[in-house]
Amino acid sequence: MIELFKDLKTTSDQGITSWEAPSNIALVKYWGKFKDQIPANPSLSFTLSNCHSKTTLNYRLRSEFSDDYSIDFYLDDEPKEDFIPKIKTFFDRIEAYLPFLKSYDFEIRSTNSFPHSSGIASSASGMAALALCLLEMTVKSIEETNSEDFYQKASFLARLGSGSGCRSIEGPLVQWGSTPSISNSSDLFGIPYPTDIHPVFENYQDCILIVHKGSKAVSSTVGHQLMENHPFAKQRFAQAHQHIEKLISILQSGDLIAFVELVELEALTLHAMMLTSNPNFILMKPNTLAIIEKVREFRAHTGIPICFTLDAGANVHLLYPHKDAIASFDFILKDLVAYCENQQYICDQLGMGAKRLS
Ligand code: DP6
């Protein structure tokens, strides 16, 4: 892969780059990784639209050589020193590909469209936006930023910031992790999902119910480590490959009954891995379970194929087709919002990936 990055040089001594990158929600979950952010199993995600990070990078060539990075970071215009170690770790991992990182002063300004305290992780969208900003420093003409080669490199870099970040460059569906049922799949970067998708998945909806706004009880770094000696790891990793294969035919046929079954099984398996690791974690809250039960009741009564998925936290993502948006949203307002912290929820849908901001 280092070949892809050969001869990457910056094209100016100072400048500004700015990108918006989306969040994503995994249908088949990435949980477990090896050295250099190589995933232990393949994953597949919906790219979101409204939930995104916007990052602006100001860079200026330094007058003197230094052996450390020079980074100022602002979130919502407030300086945030505590984010800098994570960015430095990211720079350490990508310096082999972008060898100029110690030669510049960087000022990074980031905002998220979703509230800071919503419990929605911003690392995927934030790292993806930063990777795009840094990579743009190397292009000779702006047209290059529209190329598949540029997106692939950006995904490769974003992966080194946050694994799921490599799925936050393109849309509407992205697959990451080498797996036999997708011929050009790679552990190194996400690819736009390459096979046919049934029209029922167009504009698929994701309503995120904010059950718990606090930060997660287990960071994803610790969570992935828990898979290292996990008694069920081998079976889980094998299952993820099978689930990708099944999902390919579901996405093609539009079989929503099978879709609901697989997506919910993936979400519960992710939590089952945390429930059965050593140490173990219960990340669902009573209201998470109450919502899951209500969703299953509603689906049984109405036949509307609304389903839930979960990240490594208590919040619930509800997925449903665009044609069922009105009935599903009525149900959410009437029966589910009461279980959300401060009645908070975020309506989102499939999105097309990152955008360069002028
Ligand atoms: C549960 O991408 O946050 O959301 O690579 O350590 O940054 P790092 O982990 P991260 O893990 C995401 C895990 C997940 C499932 C998923 O998005 O596939």
Atom of ligand 1 nearest to the CA of 164: 2
Q: Does the pLDDT of residue 2 top 80, yes or no? A: no
- Interval 102-112: pLDDT, tens: 999 999 999 99
Query: Hey, which of 30, 44, 244 would you mutate to test ligand 1's pocket, going by the most ligand atoms within 8 Å of its Cβ?
Result: 30
Q: Is the minimum distance from the CB of 210 to ligand 1 under 6 angstroms?
A: no
What are the angstrom distances between the C-alpha of 293 and each of 102, 316, 326?
Answer: 52, 12, 20
Query: Hey, which of 25, 164, 206, 271 would you mutate to test ligand 1's pocket, going by the most ligand atoms within 8 Å of its Cβ?
Result: 164
* Residue 152 confidence (pLDDT): 97
pLDDT confidence band for 1 (50 / 70 / 90)? low
Identify the CA nearest to 27 among candidates 159, 206, 166.
Answer: 206
Q: Is the minimum distance from the CB of 230 to ligand 1 under 6 angstroms?
A: no
Atom of ligand 1 nearest to the CA of 29: 18
The domain locations on the chain are 2-198, 199-349
For the whole prediction, is pTM greater than 0.85?
yes
Share of the chain above pLDDT 90, in %: 91
Atom of ligand 1 nearest to the CA of 28: 18
* Residue 219 confidence (pLDDT): 85
CATH of domain 2-198: 3.30.230.10
DSSP output for 302-321: H----EEEE-SSS-EEEEE-
- Interval 53-81: pLDDT, tens: 999 999 999 998 889 999 999 999 999 99
Q: Is the minimum distance from the CB of 224 to ligand 1 under 6 angstroms?
A: yes
Residue 120 alpha carbon to ligand 1 centre in Å: 12
Q: Does the pLDDT of residue 202 top 80, yes or no? A: yes
- Interval 112-129: pLDDT, tens: 998 776 677 789 999 999
Identify the CA nearest to 212 among candidates 317, 118, 295, 286.
Answer: 118
Fold for 199-349, please state it.
Alpha-Beta Plaits (3.30.70)
Average pLDDT across the chain, whole number: 95
What are the angstrom distances between the C-alpha of 6 and each of 3, 12, 84?
Answer: 5, 18, 27
Q: Is the minimum distance from the CB of 94 to ligand 1 under 6 angstroms?
A: no
Number of H helices, E strands in the chain: 8, 14
Atom of ligand 1 nearest to the CA of 162: 7
- Interval 309-342: pLDDT, tens: 999 999 999 999 999 999 999 999 999 999 999 9
Q: Is the minimum distance from the CB of 123 to ligand 1 under 6 angstroms?
A: yes
Q: Is the minimum distance from the CB of 315 to ligand 1 under 6 angstroms?
A: no
Q: Is the minimum distance from the CB of 26 to ligand 1 under 6 angstroms?
A: yes
Share of the chain above pLDDT 70, in %: 99
- Which region, left, alpha or beta, applies to residue 271 given φ > 0 means left and ψ of -120 to 50 means alpha? alpha
pLDDT confidence band for 304 (50 / 70 / 90)? very high
- Residue 259's DSSP bridge partners are none
